[in-house]
Amino acid sequence: MSTHDVTLWGYALLVTALAVLELVGRRPGSSVPSLGVVIGTVMSRRSGRVAVMAAWVWLGLHFLAL
Those residues whose C-beta lies under 8 Å from the C-beta of residue 39, and which sit 6 or more positions away, are 52
Q: Where are the domains of the chain?
A: 3-63
- The pLDDT of residue 64 is 79
pLDDT, mean over the chain:
92
Cβ-in-10-Å burial (0-12, 13-18, 19+) of 42 comes to middle
Q: Please give the average per-residue pLDDT across 52-60, as a whole number.
A: 92
Calpha distance 1→54 (Å, rounded) = 33
Cα 38 to Cα 26: distance, rounded to the nearest angstrom: 12
Tens-digit pLDDT profile for residues 6-34: 999 999 999 999 999 999 999 999 999 99
Q: Which residues contact 52 (CB under 8 A, 6 or more apart)?
A: 39, 42, 43
Answer yes or no: is pLDDT of 66 > 90: no
